[in-house]
Structure 1
């Protein structure tokens, strides 16, 4: 059974008891939600601040999880939510804001002037109140070395004080998720029970079978092509290979030589030329939002709502690699069953 099959919800499954329950914090467009649902999990609470991301989330999950939305358990600002009001759950998933810790950002961490770094402590409050069996926190790999390692020490200290046994690993989507994207992210996993912690291991490397071409659309709108546009003159001499992804670096073209897509980033939605570029039979063009979804491992039937491309690019750049996260969640469930 593949991702696409498992994403479909049958009427006979509506009243079926879930394998586990979870909450989805800083939910974005639901990468964690999708991965967990594929394993029989049920989301009982979600939180996402961005209005456009909320539209994408609702477009995909309202149909098969009406209780989440109609009960008021799809919150906006997590800061305004009282931990005691959140329904009980088994697992907490959170891709908490990475900009304060990323290489591409200002690396302000917990001192981020917009307060994004401090949102980690809202996760701590919820863990303290609800004490779920396990959690996954996801962030950029730079979190590991940020502030000479002090940031990760603070995170570990706060989580361990709550009684959690904690481990982490930096995993690449192309090596652990069978997804052709060079995307490294840190995953922090914690368990309340020592036995489950001892039984847990991160997924092992798997062969990358999916290719760039398997993620590309066959019919693409003309608006994505650079043909007859000013930038085309700067691109045409360097972008000469098909099934290769390039990037425009303001003054030069960069060829990705690893036969995968470079890391999709949130700033793809800014400036217009940050989206990876390819050459196909019709000419030079940027990836479409749907193709970015494919490079993150989203299923074919995942819905892209009627919002601007810039917002869709940002959303997929901020998202997680679904198949990789599904493998981690699966290992968590196995560790608890053993």
Structure 2
């Protein structure tokens, strides 16, 4: 069965779905740096169709998208004015929201199913109006819809405290009835399974101005800490705090650990490990800040893979 990967980023959903036995026929994102990382990992020199289609989804006509069975996307959570929505999207906010491009593509292509991923607070956003509109729009197209908030450390055997909402829909009632979200599994991996051994000096704070501020707070080797602009927060669960897109941008939300050589931040490769990327995934030679952003924005691959496997059985 074929799928398309919208807001594809660096291909986390693509890896998960291909591991579950689906075939990707189209990937799209608007970010140039994501395309660099994506293409180096997925396209052979002569296979242009495997490269990411770079561009704004608002401007991609459905004619350009090959036929597919499943639409996937970790779409950005943009606020849309529910008042404007009620007036038929006359306001700028309503029209600019990429969720309605998902609706447009589903309406034109009528795939059997979809899988969408978003931040947990989509459920409570705008007092619950946002998720209500999302359900209304999807159900209008004939989809039966269900969602669940799942944490990577409970559903993916990945030691990261990362809660995300997954929204699944099927056109066929029987497929919908056959679908169940995965159940919780034990967390067998710990943070040391995701850490590297030989670390470049540049990741250490030992000689840097921040060192004085944080050295008394970072004392344990089995914990991932987080620098929150003014203070250090310790993760008491023994897992990595939620990786964020801004962790490489000026020092906020940076995950920090203590190892035998001192206090340092996680490397981009370690962030890839905490999202469940395979060891052979290539990190291109671009700025670390871009790599941190890419992994912070990505999905936890084993969680998405488990959902996709259940969707495949249901279909």
* TM-score (ref. length: structure 2): 0.93
1:203 aligns with 2:179: no
1:122 paired residue number: 101
Task: Note if contact 1:84-1:129 (Cα within 8 Å) is conserved in structure 2.
Answer: no
Aligned twin of 1:174:
153
Q: Could you say which residue in structure 1 is the equivalent of 2:210?
A: 231
- 1:299 and 2:311 matched: no
The answer to whether the 8 A contact 1:43-1:68 is kept is no
Q: Does 1:21 align with 2:24?
A: no
Q: CA deviation at 1:116?
A: 9.3
1:220-250 deviations in Å (ceiling 9; x for gaps): 1000000011111111111010021111122
Do the aligned partners of 1:25 and 1:47 also contact (CA within 8 Å) in 2?
yes
Q: Unaligned regions of 5+ residues in structure 1, if any?
A: 1-19, 102-108
Per-residue deviation, residues 133-175 of structure 1 (Å, max 9, x unmatched): 1101110010001111111010001000101000000000000
Q: Tell me how far apart the structure 1 counterparts of residues 95 and 235 of structure 2 sit (CA, whole Å).
A: 32
**Partner in structure 2 of residue 3 of structure 1:** none
- Cα gap change, 1:114 to 1:181, in 2 (>3 Å): farther
The offset of 1:273, in angstroms, is 4.6
Equivalent residue, structure 2, for 1:243: 222
Q: Is the contact between residue 97 and residue 116 of structure 1 (CA under 8 Å) also seen in structure 2?
A: no
Pairing 1:318–2:264 present: no
Aligned length: 308
Partners of 1:117 and 1:149 in 2: CA distance: 20
1:266 aligns with: 245
Distance between the aligned counterparts of 2:117 and 2:20, measured in 1?
19
Q: Measure how far apart 1:75 and its partner are.
A: 3.6
Q: What is the correspondence of 1:6-85 to structure 2 with a 5 Å cutoff? A: 20-63=1-44, 66=47, 68-69=49-50, 74-85=53-64
The question of whether the paired residues in 2 share the 8 Å contact of 1:278 and 1:284 is answered with yes
- 1:115–1:283 distance in 2 versus 1, CA, 3 Å: farther
- Matches of 1:183 and 1:38, distance apart in 2: 21
- Please tell me whether the aligned partners of residues 31 and 54 of structure 2 are also in contact (alpha carbons under 8 angstroms): no
Question: Does the 8 Å contact 2:4/2:68 carry over to 1?
Answer: yes
What is the CA distance between 1:320 and its match in structure 2? 0.4
Give 1:37 deviation, angstroms. Answer: 1.2
- Aligned residues: CA RMSD: 2.1
- Contact 2:42 2:50 (8 Å CA) reproduced: no
Contact preservation (8 Å) 1:173, 1:182: yes
37-46 or 59-68: bigger deviation: 59-68
Q: Distance in 1 between matches of 2:126 and 2:53?
A: 34
CA contact (8 A) 1:174 1:182 kept: yes
Contact 2:223 2:236 in 1 (8 A): yes
The 2-side partners of 1:335 and 1:232 are apart by 52
Deviations 1:299-334 (A, max 9, x none): 000011111000000011100000000000000001
Q: Which moved more, 1:237-246 or 1:116-125?
A: 116-125
State the secondary structure of the residue aligned to 1:275.
strand
3-state SS of 2:3 partner:
strand
